[in-house]
Chains A and B, each alone.
Chain A
Amino acid sequence: MAAINLNLISGRSIQQGVAIEGGKEKPAYRTAAGIIELDLSDLKKLGAWKGTNVRVTSDYGNVIVKAIETTQGPHPGIGFIPMGPWANSIVNPNTYSTGMPTFKGTPVKVEVAINEPIMLGIELVQRQCGVKVG
């Protein structure tokens, strides 16, 4: 299966803003922020349909998100995951003594993971942290 290497940035989107105020436990939050926006040329290189689930892997972890065509492009070589637990599963946490993690500019690998489920926001964090949920 094809895989592509990208430079990942995260940031706000208005859909993500609405979803966090509407309730982070809701599926709407996953729809808004459990995605990666890819340039059309990168989607073609990946050989994926729009809306395919993909695994995004960095040196710091991996996460399943939905690959969609970017709404704010073109930006070939750049992947955008809205700020939230999905992006933060893979961003570079190093602060280099500034106190600020390096949220923008993490090298990542993207590969198709068509059968893998995308988790809800709270569930994703709880799973990774090993929190027992009753």
Chain B
Amino acid sequence: MTKTVTDVVCPFCGTLCDDLEVVVSDDGKQLTEVYNACVIGTEKFLHSQAKDRVTRPRLRQEDGSWKEISYDDAAEYTAQMLAKAKKPLMYGWSSTNCEAQSVGHEIAEMVGACVDNTAAVCHGTTLIAVQDIGIPSCTLGEIKNRADRILFWGCNPAHAHPRHMSRYSIYPRGFFTGKGQKSRKMIVVDPRVTDTAKLADVHLQVEQGRDYELLNAIRVALNNEWLPDVVAGIPAQKIREVADICKSGRFGIIFFGMGVTQTLSKNHNIDEAIALTKHLNEFTKFSIMPMRGHYNVTGSGEVLAWQFGFPYSVDLSRGFARYNPGDTSTIDLLARGEVDAMFTLGSDPGAHFPISCVKQIAKLPSVCIDPHQTPTSGVSKLHVPVAFCGVEVGGNAYRMDNVPIDMRKVVDPPAGMLTDEEFLIKVRDRVKQLKGAA
């Protein structure tokens, strides 16, 4: 007989769907089926059952081969590496629970590390903009129940957050949005005709990298001021149409993604998007929300912020927390060759950093803690596989709207495998001894 675990939380994207049903074998060791999840979430749950999974830490040998070692030896290696380094970098944290993040920060404080999460290559510029001018936001529940004007700017939830539209933003019938999709107007701004754009009432196919101008032009249109014939590839008439749609709604929301955070104007794009939201509030109610990628990158920002005061790019090397993106941020630290050890947990910089930064990681003493084999484990000296967070261990995670949700454990990890938190506690206790801390 199998049993079904209900209300399982999906540990893939920031939507953090909490309505999954997972069928497990009677002994709780095997996961056989996943219901309600998107195709990516399903794959994540099922991949935890892969027969070729690495289940013990592996240390790279002189000849490039791997040698299996115990978790104790791996913890010793990691603690020694961090304790010896002058300025280690502890990066990742977005695919693990808040409990593990907190233990990691204790280690970082003891060894004087730079701590950074995947916002560094995701919504870091959003965080800068929020510190610049604040953010009028709301929860996804409010959007489901109230929002009738939905803008997706530089994001493609059909691919990146597959259930976002069906659970919260476009299709659900909420308290004041009883007709579901019919009660909402959907506007998509993207240089490609994405699968999200194909569903939209209005698609603005903006010239790539011209988001700032277009955001600004919509503000001009809100004031009924003069506009050039074409802005950022969009005719003025269309811009006015969008401004009117936004104004005429009862509750609007701008969701934005990498299309604005990673193009050239970066944080200034977000500044302008937030300014537009503020401006729209002169006519109706409007909110804005970043489409966070990893399921717990928001949590990492929260935990860092309440422990050190800053949401990412925290430098503890001077014994107190400093924050200065461009200086203390991971990409810049690696590009300038300023760190002398690399610790990665719950992220894959090997695949998702520009190659010049990955080359720098390959030169350093390095530890990669990840259940998967990844390009990061491929260039690291030590690979520590751990239990899948959200599948084989529970813990706390924050949804993209800053709502904390407790994840559920569904199956046991393979025998003898540690969780992120358990491994980090071993490392922390050893670092304490090495540093002579009380």
Q: Which residues of A contact B (CB under 8 A)?
A: 7, 9, 11-14, 17-18, 20-25, 60-61, 70-75, 78, 80, 83-85, 88-89, 91-93, 95-105, 121-122, 124-126, 128-134
- B192 in contact with A78 (CB, 8 Å): yes
User: Of A7, A25, A72, A96, which is within 8 A of B194 by CB?
Assistant: A72
Enumerate B85-109 residues with CB–CB distance to A below 8 Å.
none
On chain A, the residues within 8 Å of B160 by CB distance are 11-12, 14, 17
| Residue among B267, B362, B375 facing the most chain A CB atoms (10 A cut-off) | B375
Q: How far is the CA of A88 from the CA of B63 in the complex (A)?
A: 27
Q: From residue B152, how far is it (CB to closest CB) to chain A in Å?
A: 13
- A125 in contact with B326 (CB, 8 Å): no
- B193 in contact with A14 (CB, 8 Å): no
- B326 in contact with A14 (CB, 8 Å): no
Q: From residue B339, how far is it (CB to closest CB) to chain A in Å?
A: 14
Decide yes or no whether B438 CB sits under 8 A from chain A. Answer: no
Q: How far is the CA of A104 from the CA of B155 in the complex (A)?
A: 13
Q: How large is the interface on B (under 10, 10 to 19, 20 to 34, 35 or more residues)?
A: 35 or more
- A13 in contact with B326 (CB, 8 Å): no
Closest to B374 in A: A24
Closest to B61 in A: A134
Q: How far is the CA of A80 from the CA of B191 in the complex (A)?
A: 11
- A98 in contact with B128 (CB, 8 Å): yes
Enumerate B342-374 residues with CB–CB distance to A below 8 Å.
348, 350-359, 361-362, 372-374
Enumerate B53-88 residues with CB–CB distance to A below 8 Å.
61, 63-66
Q: From residue B362, how far is it (CB to closest CB) to chain A in Å?
A: 4
User: Of A92, A104, A125, which is within 8 A of B379 by CB?
Assistant: A125
Decide yes or no whether B15 CB sits under 8 A from chain A. Answer: no
**Pairs across A and B, CB under 8 Å, 14 listed:** A22-B43, A60-B355, A72-B156, A93-B354, A93-B356, A95-B326, A95-B331, A98-B128, A101-B262, A102-B262, A124-B375, A125-B355, A129-B362, A132-B64
Number of A-B contacts (CB under 8 A): 202
On chain B, the residues within 8 Å of A130 by CB distance are 359, 362
Q: How far is the CA of A84 from the CA of B191 in the complex (A)?
A: 20
Given contacts A100-B261, A134-B64, 13 further A-B contacts (CB under 8 A): A13-B159, A14-B40, A23-B52, A24-B348, A78-B191, A96-B264, A98-B329, A101-B353, A124-B375, A125-B375, A125-B378, A126-B378, A128-B358
- Stretch binding the partner chain, chosen from B118-126, B212-220, B246-254, B399-407: B118-126
On chain B, the residues within 8 Å of A124 by CB distance are 375
Asked if A24 meets B373 with Cβ closer than 8 Å, knowing A12-B156, A105-B263, the reply is yes
Q: How far is the CA of A134 from the CA of B159 in the complex (A)?
A: 36
Decide yes or no whether B292 CB sits under 8 A from chain A. Answer: no
Q: How far is the CA of A97 from the CA of B258 in the complex (A)?
A: 18
- A100 in contact with B266 (CB, 8 Å): yes
| Residue among A88, A91, A99, A133 facing the most chain B CB atoms (10 A cut-off) | A99
Decide yes or no whether B209 CB sits under 8 A from chain A. Answer: yes
- B264 in contact with A102 (CB, 8 Å): yes
Q: From residue A108, how far is it (CB to closest CB) to chain B in Å?
A: 13
On chain A, the residues within 8 Å of B264 by CB distance are 96, 102, 105
Q: How far is the CA of A55 from the CA of B158 in the complex (A)?
A: 29
Asked if A98 meets B124 with Cβ closer than 8 Å, knowing A84-B351, A125-B358, A125-B379, the reply is yes
Closest to A8 in B: B208
- A100 in contact with B355 (CB, 8 Å): no
Decide yes or no whether B432 CB sits under 8 A from chain A. Answer: no
On chain A, the residues within 8 Å of B351 by CB distance are 20, 24, 83-85, 88, 121, 125
User: Of A73, A83, A97, which is within 8 A of B352 by CB?
Assistant: A83
- B355 in contact with A75 (CB, 8 Å): no
Decide yes or no whether B50 CB sits under 8 A from chain A. Answer: yes
On chain B, the residues within 8 Å of A7 by CB distance are 208
Q: How far is the CA of A85 from the CA of B119 in the complex (A)?
A: 18
- B332 in contact with A105 (CB, 8 Å): no
Closest to B258 in A: A11
User: Of A11, A14, A24, which is within 8 A of B375 by CB?
Assistant: A24
Q: From residue A23, how far is it (CB to closest CB) to chain B in Å?
A: 7
Decide yes or no whether B162 CB sits under 8 A from chain A. Answer: yes
On chain B, the residues within 8 Å of A102 by CB distance are 262-264
